[in-house]
Chains A and B, each alone.
Chain A
Amino acid sequence: MKGKFRWRLVLILFILIGAVIYCFPTLVRETPSWWPRFFPQDKINLGLDLQGGMHLILEVETAKAVESAAERIKNDLKTDLKKEHIFATYLDRVQGDKIEVALLNPDVKEKFDAYRTEKYPLLQEVDATQAGDRVKVLLEMDPRYRKDLERSAVDQALETIRNRIDQFGVSEPEIARQGENRILIQLPGIKDPQRAKDLLGKTALLEFKLVDEEYSLQRALTGDIPFGDVILYQKIEDPKTGAVRRVPYLIQDKTLMTGDALKDARVSFDQNNMPFIALSLNPPGARNFDRITAENVGRHLAIILDNNVYSAPVIRQRISGGEAVIEGRFTLDEAKDLAIILRAGSLPAPVQILEERTVGPSLGQDSINKGIKSIIIGGILVVLFMIVYYQLAGVVADLALIMNLIIIMGVLAAFRGTLTLPGIAGLVLTVGMAVDANVLIFERIREEVRLGKPPRAALETGYSKAFLTIMDANVTTLIAAVVLLQFGTGPIKGFAVTLSIGIAASMFTAIVVTRFIFDSFLHNVRVKRLSI
């Protein structure tokens, strides 16, 4: 008996002290200097609903990535067919990601097929129809290749977004893939959600295109746009009134250079102390830029980001150093964010916001205060009730309850769990439910006492009879909690976590700990009547 006692005491103390050590950093503002280095240092993570922050779910429009790949393939094919003298009367992208080719006659079709299977194995023929001599062929991408494209688009988007957030500077962000094409982003403590959203969601496709100066912009605006041109706008915001003016440009839709050519982008200031973005190009980009500027001296080169013209300066001379600038009427923050976006690279496809939840820090603090107040008041009421109802035995149950709360906090800290507002509610609920096991046991003991059993025997039978019931009752609650854990997200998950830990911890404290206290008490004191 003695040896068994000692083991139980060691186990209980071990768990209690361990939990206290893990809780400690959370309970103090700063760990004191005497706190050993190898002891846990981490506070319990607070969910976004408590500390404030932003939760976003983005969807990568992978279809767009596939479309732009199809566009590239189409352009290559066009050039190649010309080179190979395979005569196509028509070649274009249709239905988003398919390519349609009309070939002069069946002979040409044969030549085309041979060429395609050799040089473009990723293109498959879906349909071929003959009208007169012409053969019309519909091509699509190999589904496996298409899947690869989609997957890599999401991977690349994830990478780019991670880069942007890293450079923006958010402490402990969480960025994860969710499902096939969704990205989950959690930014704790962010102050300016709109700015962060702008930063994350911009596709940031940087393009250099020439302005069409031979054709009248006025005529183009009436709808008469020359083939191969587009109208794009520059947004100019008046810094005083905030009114936005849109200036149209007629642009030749051929991309001369993209953001791929960038090596770096930094914010610099001109002589009027206005911020601008200084770009440095990588070696191939620099060579390309050198050629473009040499060939087009005197013309306007439009610098376009996501189909918005940022500036369209005149090329005064050939630029060989691989340096370029983007001017605009930026505020400092805008310039900084733009530089980050350009450095981090463009997204392979546009993203959409599917879900957004933002909690301001003041609301989070409110919730924490209210949650803590509820725990304290609810706790005190339950503790008092147990003492009034069960006297000394109630005190024992209360000790177990307090230990239960310490263990839950300790486990949360140890496993880096996250405490959310519903999680706090779960904690409060555990307080109410944790005493249940003790109520079950105590009611049983009372029944045994009524049957005339002596204290120790009554205790023994009470515990053993109540045990299975407690087990069954808790397992079913645990089933519900585990299901919640699987399906829930964010705050709800936090609730399921505290509830599950609470159930497990309460079984330990309510059964093992209280039993130990009773046993050691009965062992040392001769008791005639149980205070229960």
Chain B
Amino acid sequence: MEIIKSGTTIDFMAKRKAAFLISGILIIAGIVSLIVHGGPNYGIDFAGGTLIQVRFSQPVSPSEIRQGLTDVGLTGTVQRFGAEGIGEYIIRLQTTSSDLEGLSATINDALAKRFKGETVEIRRTEMVGPKVGKDLRTKGLQAIIFALIGILIYISWRFKFRFAVGAVAALAHDVLITIGVFSLTNKEFSLPVLAALLTIVGYSLNDTIVVYDRIRENMGRMRREVFEKTVNISVNETLSRTILTSGTTLIVVLVLFLMGGGVIHDFTFALLIGVIVGTYSSIFVASPLVVMWQKRFPAKGDKRRK
């Protein structure tokens, strides 16, 4: 069986203007959304705060939960968790409590008082103090930067600098778009989402490298060809593999997204976006960038050095 017939020649390089336009719009939309929202919608991991997941014996109204919180002088947002009819809710508070009379106990009492005759089960609590939140933010940023530097060094060593530029630009593209989509859909940016971002970085690179590898190989064979054409042939030759691998990965990520449960919903959503954007970028962003870099800064003797 074949999805992409051998000998397929799609002129990807000619489509780069359209591709850049699409990417540009997506990135700018994301950045605008980030500016409007005043930065990413940090989850409690990064912003500090408290998250409590409660389950009632039968569904109740979120506004009544909020009322129950107000009774004890707390304000927070309440969100249904999982399917309707389970009676499970997520309560988010900006308040943190470093003392021992934990918030969860206070909330448990308040809800038990408000909803008499129903059992309230606290299934999960997460409290992150502002200090730790700040630490995690710094650490997260460091993680992304170190990962990018490590990758830049590795690719510069294995390939050439201009490839590294294209690869890292494609990565930045993927990360920006994913963060942008999170901002546009108003989803929370939490620690697992950061982990997903780093995974996307690794994954998207995987795709990019396969294409680059083929370009390098073909550069040896097609010395007479225009560089642009070599790149285009290489992208086409690896297209089948790119689609296949993205396909299998997409299958499992989709399964995780649909069945993995609410706790990792945001995490799998980020992976889903990342896999799609990552595949797109290795074809439409990473490779054209190498061509453009080559046009702008033609390196002498490049064709000789393999």
- Name A's B-contacting residues (CB within 8 A): 49, 57, 59, 193-194, 197-198, 201-202, 352-360, 362-363, 366-367, 370-371, 373-374, 377-379, 381-382, 385-386, 388-390, 421-422, 425, 428-429, 431-433, 435-436, 439-440, 443, 446-447, 450, 465, 468-469, 472-481, 483-484, 486-488, 491-492, 495-496, 499
Contact between chains at B140 and A487 (CB < 8 Å): yes
Does A480 contact B202, Cβ atoms closer than 8 Å? yes
Identify the closest chain A residue to B239 (Cβ): A443
Tell me how many residue pairs across A and B have CB atoms closer than 8 Å.
227
| Apart from the given pairs A354-B98, A363-B53, A436-B245, 4 other A-B contacts in the complex at a CB distance below 8 Å | A440-B245, A477-B205, A480-B205, A488-B195
B209 at the interface (CB under 8 A from A): yes
Interface string of B192-213 (1 = CB under 8 A from A): 1011001101110111011001
State which of B127, B192, B207, B267 has its C-beta within 8 Å of the C-beta of A353. Answer: B127
Q: How far is the CB of A404 from chain B (nearest CB, A)?
A: 13
Task: Tell me if B110 is interfacial: C-beta within 8 Å of chain A.
Answer: no
Cβ–Cβ contact A440 & B241, under 8 A = yes
CB–CB B260/A371 < 8 A? yes
- Show the binding face of B for A, using Cβ within 8 Å: 1, 3, 6, 53, 97-100, 102, 104-105, 121-129, 131-132, 139-140, 142-143, 146-147, 150-151, 154-155, 158, 191-192, 194-195, 198-199, 201-203, 205-207, 209-210, 213-214, 217, 237-238, 240-241, 244-245, 247-253, 255-256, 259-261, 263-264, 267-268, 271
Chain B residues whose C-beta falls within 8 Å of the C-beta of A477 in the assembled complex = 202-203, 205-206
Residues from chain B with a CB closer than 8 A to the CB of A469 are 209-210, 213-214
On whether the beta carbons of B128 and A355 are closer than 8 Å, the reply is yes
**Within the complex, which residue of B6, B129, B202, B252 is in contact with A476, where a contact is CB–CB below 8 Å?**
B202
Cα–Cα distance between A156 and B254 once the two chains are bound (Å): 49
Instruction: Kindly report which residue of chain A lies nearest to residue B211, judged by CB atoms.
Output: A469
Q: Is the CB of A436 within 8 A of B125?
A: no
> Given the complex of chains A and B, what is the CA–CA distance between A333 and B271 in angstroms?
46
Sample 21 A-B pairs with CB under 8 A, ordered by A number. Answer: A358-B125, A359-B123, A363-B123, A367-B261, A367-B263, A374-B256, A374-B259, A378-B256, A422-B264, A429-B199, A429-B253, A433-B206, A433-B245, A440-B210, A450-B6, A465-B217, A476-B154, A479-B154, A481-B198, A484-B195, A491-B192
**A472 — nearest CB in chain B belongs to which residue?**
B209
Cβ–Cβ < 8 Å partners of A431 in chain B? 252
Contact A487 B209 (CB under 8 A): no
Least distance between B161 CB and chain A CB atoms (Å): 16
- Give the CA-CA distance A156 to B188 in the complex, in Å: 39
A370 and B259 form a contact (CB under 8 A): yes
A326 CA to B268 CA, complexed, in Å: 54
Assembly CA distance A359 to B263 (angstroms): 11
Please tell me if the beta carbons of A433 and B260 are within 8 angstroms of each other in the complex: no
* Bound CA–CA A474/B100 (angstroms): 46
Contact across chains for A421 and B263 when beta carbons are under 8 A apart: yes
From B129, B202, B248, B263, A479 is in contact (CB under 8 Å) with B202
**Could you tell me if A483 and B252 are in contact, using CB atoms closer than 8 angstroms?**
no
Docked Cα-Cα span, A356 to B52, in Å, equals 11
**Of A359, A450, A479, A491, which one neighbours B147 at CB under 8 angstroms?**
A479
Shortest beta-carbon contacts, A-B, top 5: A480-B202, A477-B202, A432-B249, A378-B252, A432-B252
Is there an interface contact between A385 and B248, defined as CB atoms closer than 8 Å? yes
Measured CA separation A530–B194 after assembly (Å): 43
Docked-complex contact B206 and A436, CB < 8 angstroms: yes
Chain B residue, CB-CB nearest to A57: B132
Given contact pairs A362-B123, A469-B210, A373 touches B259 in the complex (Cβ within 8 A) = yes
Contact A428 B256 (CB under 8 A): yes
Do A202 and B100 form a contact, CB below 8 Å, given A356-B127, A385-B248? yes
Residues of B within 8 A of A475 (CB): 154
B259 in contact with A377 (CB, 8 Å):
yes
Contact A499 B199 (CB under 8 A): yes
Q: How far is the CA of A194 from the CA of B97 in the complex (A)?
A: 13
Please, which residues of chain A bring their CB within 8 A of the CB of B104?
A: 193-194, 358
In the bound complex, residues from chain A placing their C-beta under 8 Å from that of B271 are 425, 429
Query: For B98, what are the chain A residues with a Cβ–Cβ distance below 8 Å?
Result: 352-354
Contacts of A478 in B (CB 8 A): 202
Q: Which residues of A contact B210 (CB under 8 A)?
A: 440, 469, 473
Q: Which residue of B lies closest to A491 (CB)?
A: B192
* Interchain CA distance A499-B271 in the complex, whole Å: 14
CB distance B241 to A353 under 8 Å?
Answer: no
Q: B251: which A residues are within 8 A, CB to CB?
A: 378, 381-382, 385, 432
Q: Which residue of B lies closest to A389 (CB)?
A: B1
Tell me which residues across on chain B come within 8 A of A390, comparing CB atoms. 1
**How far in angstroms is the closest Cβ of chain A from B47?**
13
In-complex Cβ contact of B252 among A201, A389, A428, A465 (8 A): A428
